[in-house]
Structure 1
Amino acid sequence: MFLSGQSYGIFLHFFKPSTGLVNDNRVLQVKGLSILAILISFPSIFTTSLPSAIAHSTNTGLLHLLSWVFLAGSLMLGTWCCEVTGQGNLSVIFGRVTPKEVINTGPYALCRHPVYVSYMLGWVGSLIAMQQEWRHNHAFFGFIRMVAMAVVVIGLIGLYREGAELEERQFMLNEDVVQGENVELGVRRKYESYKSVVGARWVPGII
């Protein structure tokens, strides 16, 4: 379910604007790294058993449980974001768009970029699942997969951060919007007010 949710969010829920993308290469990198992360991690995700995690108090069981918490949290947060935003109402990451409205309800009342947070939670949960599998099997190939996954996750987090910063600049400074259009003053002021209320980009009350 987590992997299906990731695929839906990345490829279907968010539209590609008719005005194009700010950076085509960055979008390709996001999609390419996401597909790579799915291919690397799915064997480990499928071996993550919640009943086993609950039944065992060993380190392996705790890692099972922790990966479940992250994966389930990612799925629930991602579903909540999709419900609040609606399909086809928000641009894909790095879209060249002129902001028309500010979403400040649901998960957006907790942090400013909950969609990216849901992605990060899931990939970190996948990485934890791979780590517990490697510890359990002591396989060198499993260790290599885990390291590769860590590199991919770091790359994705960097892209999410860059995309989030671009979106905030589009609201505040009219950067990379459609030529000839301007962000309405009311939208800018509403976003300024929103940022003053919701100060956290990622974790409510922290960062």
Structure 2
Amino acid sequence: MMTLAEILKFAVIVYLAFLGVWFGTAQPKFDPKSKVRPMLYILVSVSMIVGLISIVSALTRHVPVERSIITFVLSSFSAAIFKSSLRAIKSKNLGLAFSGIVPGEVVQHGPYRYIRHPLYTAYGLFWGTCAFFSGSVLAALGACIVVIMYIAAARAEERHLMASDLGRSYEDYRRKTGLMIPRLFS
């Protein structure tokens, strides 16, 4: 008979796998001519490796009930940020990380009121939560690499935006919002 900890562990693994697939398939556009496309492939590959390490580590270790519950809560929060971000950019021309696409406007509603890159926040929180769940140092290292890559993507996108016709508007927006976490003091 399975213990409560084992049942929760398997339920969370299935939930994380579902979220990982959803995050990977609900993507905006990508310019196939982008010179930085290999960076996107590296980012996706590292993310998948973190996911696999997390699942294998969790399957081969005891996961305390508390860790499963915290993982469920944090990954659900990540999913809520992701969903509300997608809703905010539904008809906008935003691209994937490292896509090189400059949108037609500066989005400032939904979670974009508080942070400039809420999708990256959702991804970073998700992969960090997977690493936490697994208890694997290797998964934690991979999650750190993923977060660093998203920060690099955000900075590159902001350089493109600042050099575009949206530069002045985006600079005003930058002063009011945080990069990937809300700015507490403006």
TM-score tier after normalising by the smaller chain length? 0.7 to 0.9
Q: Which moved more, 1:60-69 or 1:119-128?
A: 60-69
Pairs within 5 Å for 1:66-105: 66-86=70-90, 89-105=93-109
Q: Deviations over 1:105-153 (max 9, x none)?
A: 001011111101101111121122112xxxxxxxxxxxxxx12211211
Quick one: which of 5, 15, 26 aligns to 2:29?
15
Asked whether the equivalents of residues 14 and 88 of structure 1 are also in contact (C-alpha less than 8 Å), the reply is: no
Which residue in 2 is equivalent to 1:165?
A: 155
Select which of 40, 44, 66 maps to 1:27. 40
Match of 1:40 in 2: 53
* Match of residue 191, structure 1, among 166, 170, 173: 170
After superposition, the Cα gap between the structure-2 partners of 1:12 and 1:203, relative to the gap in structure 1 and judged at 3 Å, is closer
* Code of the aligned partner of 1:76: A
Residue 202 (structure 1) aligned to one of 157, 174, 180: 180
Residues 81 and 202 of structure 1, relative CA distance in 2, 3 Å threshold = same
Of stretches 119-128 and 80-89 in structure 1, the one that deviates more from structure 2 is 80-89
For 1:17 and 1:48, the matched residues in 2 are separated by 43
**Identity, % of aligned positions:** 21
| Partner SS state of residue 180, structure 2 | coil
Moved over 6 A (4+): none
C-alpha root-mean-square deviation of aligned residues, in Å?
2.6
Query: Helix, strand or coil: the match of 1:13?
Result: coil
Query: 2:19, 2:70 → 1: CA distance?
Result: 19
Q: Distance in 2 between matches of 1:194 and 1:88?
A: 17
Structure 1: how far apart are the matches of 2:101 and 2:28? 12
Q: What does 1:132-147 correspond to in 2, within 5 Å?
A: 146-147=136-137
**TM-score, with length taken from structure 2:** 0.79
1:126 aligns with 2:105: no
- Residues 120 and 150 in structure 2, CA contact (< 8 A), matched pair in contact too: yes
Match of 1:3 in 2: 17
- Per-residue deviation at 1:157? 0.9
Q: Is the 8 A contact 2:98 2:156 kept in 1?
A: yes
For 1:201, the aligned partner's letter is L
Residues 16 and 115 (structure 1), Cα distance of their counterparts in 2 relative to 1, 3 Å cut: same
| Alpha-carbon separation, structure 2, partners of 1:30 and 1:88 | 23
Name the CA shift for 1:105/1:28 in 2 (closer, same or farther; >3 Å). same
Give the match for residue 148 of structure 1.
138
**Bigger Cα Rg:** 1
1:108 and 1:161 map into 2 onto residues whose CA distance is 16
Structure 1 unaligned regions, length at least 5: 50-59, 132-145, 175-182
* Aligned-partner Cα distance in 2 for 1:202–1:129: 22
Structure 1 Cα separation of the partners of residues 44 and 92 of structure 2 = 18
5+ residue gaps, structure 2, are 1-14
Aligned-pair distance for 1:11? 4.4
